[in-house]
Amino acid sequence: MTATSLTTPPSIFMRPPQHLAFMAAPTETARDELDRLVTRYGNCHPGEADVVICLGGDGFMLETLRVILEAGLTTPVYGMNCGSVGFLMNPTDEEDLPYRLAHAQAAIIHPLRMKAVTAHGEAHEALALNDVYLFRQTRQAAKLRIDVDRLVRIPELICDGALLATPAGSTAYNLSAHGPIVPLSGNLLPLTPICPFRPRRWRGALLPSSAHVGFSVLEHDKRPVAAVADSIEIRDVVSVQAWEDRELAVTLLFDPGQTLSERIAAEQFSA
């Protein structure tokens, strides 16, 4: 999921795709489904495939999308839910898979890029399709300074943490932290505090997708903080930079009427 994510036309295929690559989560359910699908449709390398089929839950989908990004591939990804929530997935159905793929609707997602520096001077970089967040490592609350485009906006935020989400990720941790849901076409990034203590009434901000956000960890020796980009965690950070990388993109496929944009819209009306 991410910033300024745009929905593409209903289908990206002229005919049913025949070259399919399957990737499965390390669970019994996903592995059993993998065996049945490979027996029926064959399997090829993701770099040679028309579509990558992801078998698992939302977490494994994020891992798969990161693999696609880091490999420099443009292969679209279609998820089949073998997990729990499955917000990024489609129902598992083995029948007429190439036909369903030919009619699938696509969403293009741009990731966030995180650059973090630790207290030991080590620099780390990672991509996130859901969110980049900072979180306290101990019982002590974190103290963060937040700047946007090099302008300090929050001199001192005492909190459990703070996160920057993509539009697709706005319905995940961001929503649980009482951040706003953002449409894929909104060109906005939610910046949301996690359990803020001071300033207590600050509930976050909606930033343009071009924004460059910096987090500085204050009193890092006393109040150590970790930074997370989806499933990649960096401990003892002192500074984190995060922004949307418009040069990178992944394409997710969804069954007709079940697009990511529709799911995000539906979340805004759910109880």
58 classed as catalytic: yes
The CB density around residue 59, as the number of other CB atoms within 10 Å, is 16
Catalytic residue among 58, 93, 221, 236: 58
Contacts of 54 (CB under 8 A, 6+ apart): 23, 60, 61, 64, 77, 78, 79, 80, 89
Tell how far CA 65 is from the center of its chain.
Answer: 9
DSSP string for 25-54:
-SSHHHHHHHHHHHHHH----GGG-SEEEE
Residues carrying an active site annotation: 58
